Homo-oligomer: A and B are copies of this chain.
Amino acid sequence: MDTLQRIDAFWRAANYLSVGQIYLLDNPLLKEPLAPEHIKPRLLGHWGTTPGLNFVFAHLNRVIKERDQDMIYIAGPGHGGPAAVAHAWLEGTYSEIYPGITQDEAGMRRLFRQFSFPGGVPSHVAPETPGSIHEGGELGYALAHAYGAAFDNPGLVVSCIIGDGEAETGPLAASWHSNKFLDRDGDGVVLPILHLNGYKIANPTVLSRIPEPELLKLMEGYGYRPHVVAGDDPAAMHELMARTLDEVFDEIAAYKDGRERRLPMIVLRTPKGWTGPREVDGKPVEGTWRSHQVPLARVKDDQTHRSMLEEWMRSYRPEELFDADGRPRPEITRSVPDGPRRMSANPHTNGGLLMRPLVRPDFRRYAVEVKAPAQHRSEPTRVLGAYLRDVIAANPRRFRLMGPDETASNRLQTVYEATWKEWNARLLDVDENLGPGGRVMEVLSEHLCQGWLEGYLLTGRHGLFNCYEAFIHIVDAMFNQHAKWLETAQKIQWRRPIPSLNYLLSSHVWRQDHNGFSHQDPGFLDVVMNKKATVVRVYLPPDANTLLSVVDHCLGSRDYVNVVVAGKQPVLDLFPMEQAIMHCTRGLGIVEWASNDAGQDPDVVLACAGDVPTMETLAATALLREHIPDLKVRVVNVVDLMRLLPDTEHPHGLPDAEYDALFTVDKPVIFNFHGYPWLIHRLTYRRHGHPNLHVRGYKEEGTTTTPFDMAMMNDIDRYHLVMDVIDRVPGLAVPWAHLRQRMSEDRLRARAHTREFGEDHPEIENWTWPYS
């Protein structure tokens, strides 16, 4: 048997196993004629893309063996889950990982039965699937994941199958340009294989129907050298594909040597549902959208359909592929690469195996000195920049900082003392901090930042994504999918923990001085909170030192999504470093120096989370102490939002007794919150003191205006908080009506000043804590 015949045998075997997974409960080797009881009652799966996935996989294996190539396989059309499962089973990986699914008839039966079956495995490529870092669900991210995996893996080739459906999505369309961010020396190579099978669920695809010269120009315009492999005759296609892959890998070698600027890509045109039923019930199926899911739908009840299925499966000549016990014959196993060279077992696809912990410098070294609280201001993210600079320096090939053109805007530019921005397109004299091999990835696409980082983390490296707070919503859906991946992966023993996905959200809702309403949305936290408590963490450090402590903690964690919201504008330094660490470790606590309820029950609790709300809370506290000195005020600051949840709901949740001790059970609590106020209610509605909890936050009011005007527009300002206290603490309303009135007038005065002079009153802008 020659090489192409062996490839064909592997392909037929994978196709056979794919069809079996979709249809069969039993009789896996067709030892008897197919009967209704052999058929699954619910036929769930996607055949259309599967033969193409199998075809590519079979051919790549030859390259791996011949060139001893380190390669992984990203199945953009991961709906074709049966394909990836079939590959792993044929390569022996499946049985190694799931010993119950043996490489024999009994194992094949279980393999078929479990697929898309209650208690079994999902119908898509998923964390359960060995050899994958890419969920086959939401489309658009395959190529970005591929590039993320290639970064800092100079010997690796990431093959990436892109369905022509997925190619219509925005994130995928943007991902082609990732090649401008690939370093020839330090990074690996991505081999995009655009698989045009012509149809998505129910429609033709755009790229399959534009004139081929236009398609090739598009690929050249993206900066690739396209190769076309088109046809439907298996023998001819095997030859063409093999020849093309030889050329392609020669070109890759030429690129790595510096003899060639561009990387190759392949346009693969094969029929949708290739080798499946040609026609069913008088309608064409192979080569049309009707192959998308299950080409034969009534197999259990309809004898004709059942015979067609049997004929279809027998067309792969299973007797040549498997021995009488269901074991793959040597012709097949001989075409499988060895051990970790198998794409289904490549350790890059179980990144935790390869992960080396991040070297973290002692974050205390970067602390801002705080002799007395709330007397001076720092820009928290600027302070953090120095720490990140040294993280980058200490981890030369395993940490990346992602930002959609916002790293400097978010004031992290100190990192450029240790690195620069990855850039492989043309350089000009005026450029600064640009070049190949940079650790900072800047592209104006949140999708690419997120997709690259996911691919990087899933292959065992570390990173941080800094982003304007409002625009992180652009990747809500990607966050959801990554969180779901982690939720599932945590339960799979053989999947090793990977570094957490860390977000630093800055340029936040309260300080959009240049931009206004469209840039004001703190609602990502609401999206995050819907995911499982085992995965999500949210932090709102109120100053520079707490930010350092929180980020250091996040960078050391595994298998989480950490969201850190922090300001870039100057905010008051509240805590010396040792206090900051203690405060962050607790996650929330009484701000002793701002409270005057020493050891007693307070009359009111002023709680706060986020830098601007915290400053306004402190200013309100000072006003109260000045005007109503007898009022016992307790200030509670919350850094770790999950502490507000009951301990039954989240591992960080505060036990009720501790919550009650901090917030009281019966005193009014005015909570000044960074985000949409109802999020706090959602977290606390089961707490004893909840009926007395009053939350201020962003209520969707804003424009381009001054910071204090923004606070006033949303009633989170100091004056309004004092009014809230007077309104809510029993017994204050009447005696302090004049103070309430004065606060109301102070607001009007502040607004008038802003409207006249275009800036906040200096006393407000430069306010410091007066009782140090």
Contacts and interface: CB of A to CB of B under 8 A. Distances in A.
Interface of A: 25, 40-42, 44-46, 79, 116-124, 126, 135-140, 165-166, 168-177, 180, 200-206, 209-211, 214-223, 284, 287-288, 293, 405-409, 421, 423, 425-426, 428, 430-431, 434, 442-445, 447-448, 470-471, 473-474, 476-477, 480-481, 484, 487-488, 513-519, 521, 523, 526-527, 529-532, 676, 678-679, 681-682, 685, 690, 700, 703-706, 709, 751, 754-755, 757-759
Contacts of A177: 168, 173, 206
A435 to B, nearest CB: 12
A193 B705 CA distance: 32
A419 to B, nearest CB: 14
A209 B41 CA distance: 56
A170 B445 contact: yes
A477 B220 CA distance: 31
Contacts of A45: 514
Given A137-B519, A168-B443, A682-B681, A122 B174 contact: no
Contact of A678 (B214, B218, B682): B682
Contacts of A222: 218, 221
6 closest residue pairs by CB, A with B: A137-B518, A218-B221, A170-B170, A173-B173, A209-B425, A473-B477
A42 B516 CA distance: 14
Nearest to A424: B209
A80 to B, nearest CB: 12
A116 B758 CA distance: 9
Copies of this subunit: 2
Contact of A447 (B169, B430, B704): B169
Given A123-B704, A170-B447, A758-B117, A514 B46 contact: yes
Contacts of A526: 526-527, 530
B515 A137 contact: yes
Contact of A40 (B406, B474, B518, B758): B758
B180 A42 contact: no
A200 B471 contact: no
Contact of A516 (B123, B166, B168, B406): B123
Contacts of A126: 516-518
A200 B513 contact: no
A116 B512 CA distance: 11
A114 to B, nearest CB: 10
A176 to B, nearest CB: 8
Given A170-B174, A205-B444, A523-B527, A758 B42 contact: yes
Contacts of A209: 180, 425-426
27 contacts: A119-B754, A120-B704, A122-B517, A124-B516, A124-B518, A124-B704, A137-B517, A137-B519, A168-B174, A168-B177, A168-B448, A169-B170, A170-B170, A170-B171, A180-B206, A201-B408, A202-B405, A202-B442, A203-B421, A209-B426, A210-B223, A214-B220, A218-B218, A218-B222, A221-B221, A473-B527, A681-B681
